[in-house]
Amino acid sequence: MSRIVVPGELLADKPIRMEAGFIEGNNTYSTLLGIYHEEKGVLVPLEGLWYPQRGDIVIGIVEEARLNAYNIELNSPYKGIIIAKFVETRLQRGDVIEAEVKEIDETKTVVLMRPKKLFGGKIFDVKPSKIPRIIGKQNTMVDQIRNGTKSVIMVGMNGRVWLKGGNVALATEAVLKIVEEAHTTGLTERIKALLGPQSQPQQGV
């Protein structure tokens, strides 16, 4: 049986010496995003570049505005494109947008749909392999950051984070802490401590 694992995720409840794994107590954990083959005890890294998949939410920057299309920079070797007729508001070079991957065409260009312009805010890049840890299972980690900072946060699978409003400095610190410590255990509790009690979901709501 094979499964995708994220940094810090339990691989086995026994110590197994392997590349890209670490032992803590009697357990073995992953240090990276990868595919773990349980029967073989082998972890295959998926670290590195973002490989676009249909349905991925990305954050891009308009690189060129043409008459019938927009070229989008995606922090990736892949180039993005948005067909102009599907955009309600005219975009300009330098605009930051959130969009969804519709398909990858025969030229390996990422065709985007449902673009949404992001006004103002702060944008920075991280390794795409760290994005699942920033989001967390069922959005738990990113929701913690939203609750604890009152910031609007958008996370792109292409390794981009956009922040606006609230305590942007604290939100940035939390994201960078996750990136640096993604492979360690107990990270969720440390982020809770950093953000304070306001990061906890309200009971009975």
Residue that the structure tokens 């995606």 belong to: 74
Residue 188's domain comprises 122-199
Q: Which of 118, 138, 167 is the last residue of a domain?
A: 118
Q: How many domains does the chain have?
A: 3
Q: Are residues 67 and 114 in the same domain?
A: yes
Q: Are residues 17 and 35 in the same domain?
A: yes
Structure tokens of 190? 């440390």
Write out the chain's pLDDT in tens, 205 residues. 778 787 889 999 999 888 788 999 999 999 877 778 888 888 877 666 788 899 999 999 999 999 899 999 998 878 899 999 889 889 999 999 999 999 998 888 999 999 999 999 999 999 888 999 999 988 999 999 999 999 999 999 999 999 999 999 999 999 999 999 987 888 989 999 999 876 665 444 3
Asked if the structure places residue 191 within a domain, the reply is yes
Residue from 73, 63, 57 nearest 154 by CA? 57
Which residues, 6+ apart, have CB-to-CB distance to 119 below 8 Å?
164
* pTM for this entry: 0.72
Asked if the structure places residue 142 within a domain, the reply is yes
Asked if the structure places residue 50 within a domain, the reply is no
Asked if the structure places residue 181 within a domain, the reply is yes
